[in-house]
Amino acid sequence: MREQDAYLSEAVIGGSGNGCKLGQTFPAPETPDASHIDQSVELAGVRLKNPVVAASGTFGFGREYGEFFDLSELGGICCKGLTLSPREGNPPPRIAETPLGMLNSVGLQNPGVDAFIRDELPFLRQHDVTIIANISGNTPEEYGVMCEKLSEAGVDLIEVNISCPNVKAGGLAYGTRPELAAEVTREAKRHAAVPVMVKLSPNVTDITEIARAAADGGADALSLINTLRGMRIDVNTRRPILKMNTGGLSGPAVLPVAVRMVWEVSRAVSLPILGMGGVSTGEDAAQLMLAGASAVAVGTALFADPFAPLKVRDGLVGIAARQGLSAVRELSGGVRPW
């Protein structure tokens, strides 16, 4: 039996009824020198210096997190979702904790695409990091207008959000109907001078249907998963915790759903995938990459630990080193299904 197998079976025995051996410590696996590991990846022809992106809606426009670390350390920053006009978002309460996650019903609060280009993009551009603009529209035409403005302004990639569960117009209406998903993608592609990545919703019966529709519409990449619709209720007041009644679930609880969906989509279409959903460690990120993602986004984990993306990056590099790889991207699609 290999040493590694012994380590695993001991853990399984302890967890399956023999009782946890309190006080017993397992030696941390040795981390070989990882300085030779190539961290760079490609997403729709755009080079990221490492595979870790700050997920949209969890990083604002980077200013606050820039007080903790140099934003150039990241592979990419996906900005808070933009709309054509400014939006105040939904009324509070619009955030609620859940077991191993959180619900949000923010409702796309943002200053609008023009203010982003004027006030935020110049700051972001001071850093050596790939900038991804996330956009939501009320109509396919609005997506087109924003793609044109953002391409001219010089973002590197546009994430077309057809999966926000917290707005009445656009959002999920586009992300759950293949023909509308394809139409929005086509309109975005017609006006974008940079690659277009379509963000998919998990709130569908078959995510590969929407993935194929986005591919048919000309998407250069896909990102998944957005949040799962959920609800919490205060049993004393009998009121939902969120003012909008429902919201989107994110955090570690959704990771297995994300891994499964990335795996399904990667087998259905041949587009690069930005995988996300509950990533807080290098191992979580490696699961998404093995399932088929080219890069990963870290979101909810940022609220508990602003350094989470850097820890995820270092964890991924450590896994690549321990597995004898020369580049982190070699993990992509490497799952060995039974």
Candidate ranges 102-110, 142-150, 212-220, 325-333; the one touching ligand SIN (CB under 6 A) = 102-110
In 179-212, which positions are buried (b, 16+ CB within 10 angstroms) versus exposed (e)?
A: ebbbbbbbbbbebbebbbbbbbbbbbeebbebbb
3-state secondary structure (DSSP) of residue 103 = strand
In sequence order, the β-bridge partners of residue 298 are 54
| Set 78, 79, 147, 164: catalytic member | 164
Between 175 and 318, name the residue whose CB sits nearer to ligand SIN: 175
Q: Which residues contact 13 (CB under 8 A, 6 or more apart)?
A: none
Tokens 């490609």 sit on residue: 42
Q: Smallest distance from the beta carbon of 110 to ligand SIN, in angstroms?
A: 8
Q: Shortest approach of ligand SIN to residue 239 CB, angstroms?
A: 20
Catalytic (active site) residue 164 = yes
Nearer to ligand SIN by C-beta: 166 or 185?
166
Query: Does residue 107 interact with ligand SIN by CB under 6 A?
Result: yes
Tokens of 252: 């570690």
Q: Give the whole-angstrom CA distance, residue 185 versus residue 190.
A: 9
Q: By three-state DSSP, how is residue 107 classified? A: coil
Side chain identity, residue 188: A
- Smallest distance, ligand SIN to C-beta of residue 316, A: 25
CB of 64 to ligand SIN, least distance (A): 17
Report the DSSP pairing between strands 52-54 and 76-78.
Answer: parallel
Residues from 13 through 42 that contact ligand SIN (CB under 6 A): none
Rounded CA separation 322/307 (Å): 23
Element (H or E) spanning 288, and its range?
A: helix 282-291
Q: Which of residues 147-176 bind ligand SIN (CB under 6 A)?
A: 161, 163-166
From the CB of 165, what's the least distance to ligand SIN, in Å? 6
Size of the site for ligand SIN (CB under 6 A): 14
Cα Rg, the chain, nearest whole Å: 20
Q: Contact, 291 vs 335, CB < 8 A?
A: yes
Exactly one of 84, 106, 253, 319 binds ligand SIN (CB under 6 A); that residue is: 106
Asked if 161 contacts 143 with a C-beta cutoff of 8 angstroms, the reply is no
- Asked if 299 is part of the footprint of ligand SIN (rule: CB under 6 A), the reply reads no
Task: From residue 47, give the alpha-carbon distance in Å to each of 30, 35, 151, 295.
Answer: 30, 19, 17, 11
Do residues 166 and 248 lie in contact, with contact meaning Cβ atoms separated by under 8 Å?
yes
Instruction: Using the minimum distance from each CB to ligand SIN, give the nearer residue, 66 or 81.
Output: 81
Q: Which is nearer to ligand SIN, 227 or 287 (CB)?
A: 227
Choose which of 44, 52, 55, 108 interacts with ligand SIN (CB under 6 A): 108
165/315 with CB nearer ligand SIN? 165
Contacts of 55 (CB under 8 A, 6+ apart): 78, 276, 297, 298, 299, 302
Q: Are residues 175 and 210 in contact, defined by beta-carbon separation less than 8 angstroms?
A: yes
Q: Which lies closer to ligand SIN via its Cβ, residue 227 or residue 332?
A: 227
Subset of 38-57 contacting ligand SIN (CB under 6 A) = 57
Q: Between residues 74 and 106, which has the closer beta carbon with respect to ligand SIN?
A: 106
Binding positions for ligand SIN, 232-271, rule CB under 6 A: 248
Binding range to ligand SIN, per CB under 6 A, among 106-114, 292-300, 308-316, 322-330: 106-114
**Does 202 participate in binding ligand SIN (rule CB under 6 A)?**
no
Tell me the C-alpha distance between 150 and 162, whole Å.
Answer: 17
What minimum distance in Å lies between the beta carbon of 35 and ligand SIN?
37
In whole angstroms, how close is the CB of 80 to ligand SIN at the nearest point? 8
Q: Which of 227, 266, 287, 332 binds ligand SIN (CB under 6 A)?
A: 227
Q: Which residues bind ligand SIN (CB under 6 A)?
A: 57, 81, 104, 106-108, 161, 163-166, 226-227, 248
The residues annotated with a catalytic role in the active site are 164
